[in-house]
Amino acid sequence: MKITSAEFVISNSDVSKCPKERLPEYAFIGRSNVGKSSLINMLTQRKSLAKTSGRPGKTQLINHFLINKSWFLVDLPGYGYARVSKSSKKVFQKFITAYFSKRTQLVSAFVLIDCRHEPQKIDLEFMQWLGENQIPFSILFTKGDKLSEKKLEVQIEAYKNELLTYWEEVPHYLITSSSSGLGRDEVLQYIDSINQEVSGSVK
């Protein structure tokens, strides 16, 4: 898939105010500081489509971006470790839950995980919640260029083993890097294949 256009549409914390178009939607979510904004900019090849920040928890709203005028990329707030008040975290959690529960346009979520770290309880619990609520998702391991090939293999294997204690099979996953562009073609190809299944609207 070639990205010919990527435009910001709306930010809000109310699911009822999300775009009304019946277009396929892909939600990107992960622990704070996982590199989500950088990955979105890498995928769309737009330097500042999603605002990057050294301060965790910068994304605090549901952000919709219209891609190729045919599908939405949705940037959701990071969970955990955000430097915000407990009351703000509760608000985030509430509208994130509402988004996943009510947004019928959602085709799949992408859960971003920093491959450099050991399996984190908060990530595992969030994926468990998605599974229990029958929300399709894939894992995007970020910062894949930061490890040697051997170390990366060890880290991914550790995650797979941990996931298999909860899941019958490992969820679909891809390895990415915002710096090197690793995984870009694979992620876009995956989205493209789903779009064609869903609506046949993306060629």
Strands 6-12 and 62-67: antiparallel
Which domains can be identified in the chain, with CATH numbers? 6-146+153-198 (3.40.50.300)
Q: What is the pLDDT along the chain (203 residues), one digit of tens a residue?
A: 999 999 999 998 889 999 999 999 999 999 888 999 999 999 999 988 887 544 444 457 889 999 999 999 999 987 764 455 566 556 557 788 899 999 999 999 999 999 999 999 889 989 999 999 999 999 999 999 999 999 999 999 999 999 999 899 999 999 999 999 999 999 999 999 999 998 654 34
Q: Rounded to whole angstroms, how far apart are CA atoms 144 and 159?
A: 14
pTM: 0.89
If DSSP codes are grouped into helix, strand and coil, which group holds residue 17? helix
Distance of alpha carbon 53 from alpha carbon 34, whole angstroms: 11
* Cβ partners under 8 Å of residue 60, min gap 6: 13, 77, 84, 88, 92
